[in-house]
Amino acid sequence: MKARTRTLLLVVAIAVVLIAALDQLARMNRRFFGSSASTARALGHYLAGDYAGAARFYRDDLRRAAERMPAEQAGSWIALAAGDLDRAEAQARAESRQAPTDAEPVLTLAEVALMRRDSPTALAHATRVLELRRDDYDALLVIAVVHARQGAYAAAIDALKRALRYERVERRATVFLAVLEATGELDDRAVDERPHCLLAHLHRYLRIYDPSQARPAARYAQRAIDLGDRADDAHVTLALVHTKQGRPTHAFAAFQQALAVNPRNTAALLGVARHRANRGEVAEEYRLIRAAFEADPDDPFVVATFHRFLVDKLGDYRQAMALAEAAVARNARDAEAWWRLGHVHAHLGDHRKALHGYQQAAGLAPRTAELEDNIGNELAELGRDEEAFTAYRRALVLDPIRPQPHFGLGMLHGKAKRWNEAIQEYEMGATLGGGVAVGLCELYWEAGRQNDAAACVTIVLTRDPDNPQGLALMEHVRGAQRSASTSR
């Protein structure tokens, strides 16, 4: 009987382990899976906790995929992925000469140096990427890996913190694998030699793709707290793990503990501010965001957060204007400060000053689709339609799937009574995720497509019942419907 009980307990234990393993696999990102023998071996090493070994096998699979790429697509990153570092370096340098403000070939050079374990060169190139593209996620991860290898753990944590505060991820599989390998190398050290707070941040990054990584992230964070290893940042890591697991009360407590250790920790201040915002406590939210700004007024992320709060939530254009003007006065080459100044002027309806701010920003930093959009909007407001057309088209070149430039082009075509072209642009904007704009409904009406106008304005008013343009158009639609009914 006892033997049967032991057998039953063993079967139950195995079943529990299998269910847990299957649950983990089901929640992991598809990047961990593949059909090749290399990915199967890589996954096995990953599940066994051998992250460095997993990274090597995943690289083998990536190399084979890169080698199969058509020759016309074989840019410097493809050469890097294929493992041909000499060719990758030569191509990246050629690409950079052709486009000196393009961050991508510089990032490739940083990765080449990283793979060669040439830390100073990798750091120099990654830093240059950040000059071309602020807070580039891939470059920040490269910098974190370089500092981790050099034993500069505080600097590695700072780079990871900058990356992890954004709701985006790296673009390059090679960068992900570099972080995975670095995590494994640090995990494999003796317990008393591990940089616990850094490992908490690395596992928090891996948690993006594998929720089970929350456990080692929390474990390392707690150990860091116990050892006094960047305890405030470790508390923030615990808070963010709790947040992702849907435990806001625990997250709030952890953020508060971080502030008890360091009242100027901006991540903790902004974390508590989000908690207050969720409870509708606007005054406390303002106090906390302002405290984060005062703690680090030169951090672009914190400044941008404060600006958005002032403009979009409080409508405090006076304070937002003062902050942007002060930033421009301190540094007339601060592109983001000029953008913020233009943004405030746009809200205030001063389109000339708004355009000036946006154009100053465009002259100081690589142009973005959003900035070209902003410029197009202000040019259109000023009646400079041809220039606005050009700006919107530049925006689409920079980001072909951005919906907003299509709405701008549609508005300009509509202004010129080119109804078909205008409708096509608005419909494309809606298809790309911009939603149904009331301008499209008005164009249907102008083009004599009354049924389409009625369906369109119904969608708009369902989403925004107080939309004045939608309400006015609905009156016309109902009037036409009554007239049609009477005539029948």
The 10s digit of each residue's pLDDT in 32-61 is: 888 788 889 999 999 999 999 999 999 999
- Using CA atoms, how far residue 329 sits from 106, 323, 342, in Å, is 31, 10, 15
Three-class secondary structure of residue 211 per DSSP: helix
pLDDT of residue 134: 87
**What DSSP letter does each residue of 37-97 carry, written as one string?**
HHHHHHHHHHHTT-HHHHHHHHHHHHHHHHHTS-GGG--HHHHHHTT-HHHHHHHHHHHHH
Q: Average pLDDT of the chain?
A: 91
Q: How far apart are CA 97 and CA 480, in angstroms?
A: 62
pLDDT of residue 34: 81
Ranking 62-71, 110-119, 169-178, 276-285 by mean pLDDT, the lowest is: 62-71
pLDDT of residue 35: 76
Q: How far apart are CA 396 and CA 263, in angstroms?
A: 44
Q: What percent of the chain has pLDDT over 90?
A: 78
Q: Is the dihedral of CA 344, 349, 350, 352 positive or negative?
A: positive
> Who's near 61: CB < 8 A, 6+ residues apart?
34, 36, 38, 39, 42
Per-state percent for the chain, helix, strand, coil, to nearest 5: 80, 0, 20
pLDDT of residue 6: 62
Q: Which whole number is the average pLDDT over 58-85? A: 85
Q: How far apart are CA 379 and CA 390, in angstroms?
A: 10
pTM (predicted TM-score): 0.82
pLDDT of residue 372: 96
Indicate if the pLDDT at residue 12 is higher than 60: no
Tally of helices (H runs) and strands (E runs) in the chain: 27, 0
For residues 154 and 230, the answer to whether their CB atoms sit within 8 Å is: yes
Reported confidence tier of residue 488, pLDDT bands at 50, 70, 90 = low
Half-sphere exposure of 473 (CA within 13 A, CB side): 29
Indicate if the pLDDT at residue 75 is higher than 90: no
Measured from the Cβ of residue 146, the count of other Cβ atoms closer than 10 Å reads 28
pLDDT of residue 28: 86
pLDDT in tens, 293-320: 999 998 999 999 999 999 999 999 999 9
Phi, psi of 298 (to 5 degrees): -100, 0
Indicate if the pLDDT at residue 291 is higher than 60: yes
pLDDT of residue 14: 56
Indicate if the pLDDT at residue 359 is higher than 70: yes
Amino acid identity at 297 = P
Indicate if the pLDDT at residue 20 is higher than 80: no
pLDDT of residue 309: 96
pLDDT of residue 436: 87
Indicate if the pLDDT at residue 10 is higher than 50: yes
pLDDT in tens, 389-443: 999 999 999 888 899 999 999 999 999 999 999 999 999 999 988 888 899 999 9
Helices (H), 262-316: 266-278, 282-295, 300-308
pLDDT of residue 17: 45
pLDDT of residue 479: 83
